[in-house]
Amino acid sequence: MKAVDDIIQFIKDHDRFVITSHARPDGDAIGSELGLALMLEKLGKTAHIFNADPHPRPYQSLPGIERVQVTHKVEGSYDGLFVLECNDLQRPNLQGLDQYFVISIDHHPKTEPFGDLNWLDDSAAAVGEMIYELAQPLQVQLTSEIASNLYVAIFTDTGSFQYANTRAKTFLIAGDLVNHGASPSAISQAVYMTRPYARLQILGMLLNTLQIHSSRIASITLTQEMLEKTGASANDMEGIVDYPLSMEGIYLAAFFREEAEGRYRVSLRSKNHYDVSTVAKHFGGGGHKNAAGLAVEGSFQEVVEKVVLELEKLVDGKYEPPLEAAG
C-alpha cells in the first residue's frame, strides 16, 4: 500500500485527531491545517489544531481560524497527531507531541520519515495539494471553507503560482478549489492588500539597505533598531526578500535579520536552478530549492561574509547539482 493509503485507512478507523505544523506558521501551514480539520469534521471526527505561534495577519480571516489554539503544550487523548510541513517532531515547538501516533505529511525535498505514518511528496507544490488529494478517497465533499483554506496554502507556497514548484497539477487543483468556492480575487486581496502601515515603513528602510555583492547576489538587512522605530512585526517581513531577487541579473538574495546581539537569521531565495537549500544546510538550516533559511552567529560583517562566500560557491558550481524535483 502507498503511504497515502495507510493514512486514509487510519483516518477511517479513528475518531480523534490533533493537527499541528511548524512554529511561525505560514500560509501553507495554516491553510493545510484548517483544510484538513474541516475535512475531518465533515467525516464526523474530532480535529483540534495547536500551533506554537500566532497566525500572521493575512490569515486571520480564513474560515475556521478561530479553531487554531496557540499554546506551548499539547495534552489530551487523541488517536493520531498530524504533523504538517515539518522535517521532525521539534519543528512545531510544542511539548507533549511524542506521546501520540504521528502522521507526517510534507513536501520538503529533504524530509526523512520521522512519524509512525509518513507521506512525503516533494513534487507537491504545497502540503495543501496533498490535503486536497485526501478529499476524494475519504469521500469528503469540498465546502467553500475547505476550498478557500487549501487555495490559500497553494497560492502562498507557490508565490502566487510564480515559483518553480508550480506544476500543471497545481492549476488543476487550484481550478477545482475555485469550482468549490475559493475566490482568487478575495484571497489575493486578503493576503497581499491588507498590509499595515508599519509594513510599508519597514519596506522603505529595508530597500535602503540593499547591497549587491557580486553580479548575481544581492541582500537586504534588518536591524533591531528598525523594528523598534516602526513597530513592525516578523509577519510584516513576509515576502520582502523577493524585492532584491526581482532585479535583473540577480539570481540569489539573502535577507539578514538581527535577532539579538551577534545572532542573525538569514532567509535565502533564488531563481532558476540555484539550490539555496544546500547553502542553508551548510549552516545547519534547511528549506526548499528556491527558498531556504538558516541562523548564524558573529558580527554583522562576519555573518554577511560567511553567507555570501557560500552563495558565491553555489554560483561557481561548487555545490552538488540540485535535485531534479522542484522545492
- Residues near Mn ion (CB under 5 A): 28, 85, 126, 157
Of 126 and 304, the one with the shorter C-beta distance to Mn ion is 126
CA R_g for the chain: 20
* DSSP secondary structure code for residue 53 in this structure: S
d(CA 250, CA 227): 27
Q: Which of 102, 44, 94, 95 is nearest to 78 (CA)?
A: 102
Of 15 and 133, the one with the shorter C-beta distance to Mn ion is 133
Q: How far is the CB of 157 from Mn ion (least distance, A)?
A: 4
Asked whether the beta carbons of 65 and 34 are under 8 A apart, the reply is yes
d(CA 176, CA 154): 12
Q: How far is the CB of 85 from Mn ion (least distance, A)?
A: 5
Of 32 and 148, the one with the shorter C-beta distance to Mn ion is 32
Q: How far is the CB of 108 from Mn ion (least distance, A)?
A: 7
Of 126 and 146, the one with the shorter C-beta distance to Mn ion is 126
Of 120 and 250, the one with the shorter C-beta distance to Mn ion is 120
Alpha helices in 193-250 (DSSP H): 197-207, 224-230, 242-245
Q: How far is the CB of 159 from Mn ion (least distance, A)?
A: 11
C-alpha angle 11-89-287 in degrees, rounded to nearest 5 = 105
SS3 77: coil
Q: Which of 147, 194, 133, 119 is nearest to 31 (CA)?
A: 147
Of 77 and 162, the one with the shorter C-beta distance to Mn ion is 162
Of 153 and 220, the one with the shorter C-beta distance to Mn ion is 153
The CB-nearest residue to Mn ion is: 28
Q: How far is the CB of 83 from Mn ion (least distance, A)?
A: 13
Asked whether the beta carbons of 181 and 216 are under 8 A apart, the reply is no
H-run or E-run covering 95:
none
Q: How far is the CB of 165 from Mn ion (least distance, A)?
A: 9
C-alpha angle 82-233-282 in degrees, rounded to nearest 5 = 60
Q: How far is the CB of 2 from Mn ion (least distance, A)?
A: 21
